[in-house]
Amino acid sequence: MKTKSLLILSILLIFLASCDRPDCKNTNSIFDSNGVETNMYKQELIKEMHRIGKNNLTYWVSSYTEQNGKEFITVNIQGDGLCAKGLLQVNDWNIIEGIKKTKGDSYIGAQLKGLTFDIITNGESIDFIYKNIVSIVD
């Protein structure tokens, strides 16, 4: 009986670990020394995303925030040596209304499959604007 219980527990732990995002370690000093909301951080993130290709990146919900009357989700971004965060302004919550309703709490760590967003440069500011997702894998 103990062996069966240990086997079930082991399988459960492996399953739970596989649902989480892979560990990554940032090696880019620009991401370490600048906040996710700064233009320097965003410029470096754009450069890295172009190097890797947006379709080769994976995204996970990190948090929900409100600033100056606007709503944002912060996402963990990973792929080919990139380990960073992105701050996405959300204007249309239609597909991801659950994230808004829970202020992100129930979705932290959920993968955003097929995430698309626009990068808008307006003078000196750079904004990442959420467009759509295919699915949320929680």
Please determine, for residue 3, whether its predicted confidence score (pLDDT) is greater than 90: no
What pLDDT was estimated at residue 138? Answer: 85
What pLDDT was estimated at residue 10? Answer: 42
11-52 residue pLDDT tens: 433 444 445 678 888 999 999 999 999 999 999 999 999 999
63-105 residue pLDDT tens: 999 999 999 999 999 999 999 999 999 999 999 999 999 999 9
Structure tokens at 33: 């020394």
pTM for this model (two decimals): 0.82
Question: Which residues make Cβ contacts (< 8 Å) with residue 106, sequence separation at least 6?
Answer: 98, 138
What pLDDT was estimated at residue 19? Answer: 52
Structure tokens at 66: 């409100």
The sheet that has 125-132: what strands, in order across it?
116-122, 125-132, 82-89, 70-79, 58-67, 111-113, 135-137
The pairing of beta strand 82-89 with beta strand 125-132: parallel
